[in-house]
Structure 1
Amino acid sequence: MYDIATRNRALELLAQGLTVSEVSRRTRISRWAIRDWQLRADQGRSVASYRTAPCPRCATPPTIPQPADRYAYLLGLYLGDGCISPVSDPAKRIWALRIFCADSYPGLQTECADAIRAIRPDNKIRFLKLVGCTEINSHSKHWPCFFPQHGPGKKHNRTIALECWQQELVGRFTEPFVRGLIHSDGSRSTNRVRHSTEGGERWYEYPRYFFTNESADIARLFTDALDRLGIAWKRSNRNNISVARREAVARLDEFVGPKY
């Protein structure tokens, strides 16, 4: 085990332009250790600790990610507007969890980052500004363990199914799961309807929720969750789910509400 001064000295040599092999020869430290410290520094993690918190899914026996309610919320965000992709060299098996949040809702960006931080507190979180939205990402070797729905191609072109442990977790924490789905691919808006009467026209306004997703599997996860909560819904078209009954909207307002 190398002390912190030795680790920082190796990083200083790298910063001077020396290669990993040259630093290894000068310091008699293995190239593997130097690369590990370099990766930690690049990811904004402390080089003082030897390893991050263990992955609950890699444990024996595997356990459910904690806190479970924050994971359920993050799962909803991932299924809606997230993806997992390799970072630089795929052989390093470092993955980036990327969640895309519209800049119109800065509060949701903060909540997304807080959920990631709660699940993997040792991992750095980055905010990358894009056109009209912000990519919130975090690097880890274990994101595919947390989100086994990861795979090649777009989600709506492949099967999306929850693992047994995820089904159990979503069954217990259905509200934060629905909240994450709506925060990613849903909205709450006011619908205006014109009604003709003998005395002329009258307009009626009422709030409703929409959930839009191209994946039939993800839409089914959403409607199954609404069914568990006793919330009435209708399919407006192939990829749109509407919640418009007064009592159903009121129920969603209890734990979702307008985006912010």
Structure 2
Amino acid sequence: MHPPEIRARARRLHLSGASIADVARSVGLSYRTVWHWCRDRPEPVVHVTALRCFRCREGVDNPTDQPAYAYLLGLYLGDGHLVTSARVPVLRITCSNAWPGLIEACDSVMRAVLATKVQRIPKIGCVSVESSGKALDLLDIRWRMNLPWSLSVARRDAVAALDRHVGPKF
């Protein structure tokens, strides 16, 4: 994926009268990519999730440190999972003992982004860094664990607030 500035520059050049081939040479991209941006789909597609996500909306005062959030998301996608069998949902990321800096960084970004509590569980050859979250708490949404595997947002005002941030259930 190319930076939005390059796409905007390519579109400006094309709208000013340059051919697709000239624009492609100017920005150093393939003809087909520039054609796609300028002719096939001149406006970028905004995914539905991006429209609903409280972190992704334009004009929202976002308290989250975006680089820390992106780093934590990468750790989660690579070596993490959510545990919902506890009273509170827990984010668990497993880090190798061979990378102590990674363990420190994981702990740090968990605290910066969403954790009310971070703990390190030593295992053979690795450490499980775990945090209990405050994502719904940050949004001031009341919730509870109604079953060990099921989080519940049941009050009308809390459901309405959650719907504003992630969209209604269908």
Q: Between Structure 1 and Structure 2, whose CA radius of gyration is higher? A: 1
**TM > 0.5 fold call:** no
Give the TM-score normalised by the residue count of structure 1.
0.28
Give the TM-score normalised by the residue count of structure 2.
0.42
